[in-house]
Amino acid sequence: MTVMTYRTQDGLADYGFSIEFQSDMGWRAYIIFQLPQGHDDSLPLPYQAIDHDGRYYVNWSAKIDSLGDAKTIATLWAELIQRHHPTEEQRRHNNQAPKKLTCLEQPKTDAA
């Protein structure tokens, strides 16, 4: 087992993984913590699954044969999830009431 932390490239979120080898499945990246801004726990995340013990992991369709590949997959997943969630600034912008549209000013023709 290897414990790995990862900060996304934009520096806005930290993730923690427990990367474990299981003889029947190969390597698996369990998600220990994820701190994306404003994450709604009721929404399912892409490529995330829950094992029979209730632990979240990165759901990779192929068998992961090496620790290095498992680390790469965990970092790719973190970047994907970070892009999946809007930033706090985007949420504030989306929650603002739409501004009233106004007519455009007519161009001035008497410019000197």
pTM over 0.85: no
| Short-list 91, 92, 89, 73, CA closest to 81 | 73
Q: What is the mean pLDDT of residues 65-92?
A: 82
- Whether residue 101 is predicted with pLDDT greater than 50 in this model: the reply is no
Q: What is the mean pLDDT of residues 1-22?
A: 93
Q: What is the mean pLDDT of residues 33-56?
A: 75
User: CA 61 to CA 71: how far, in whole Å?
Assistant: 15
**Between the CA of residue 86 and those of 31, 40, 47, 70, 83, what are the distances in Å?**
20, 11, 18, 26, 7
Q: What is the mean pLDDT of residues 79-104?
A: 61
Q: What is the mean pLDDT of residues 78-91?
A: 71
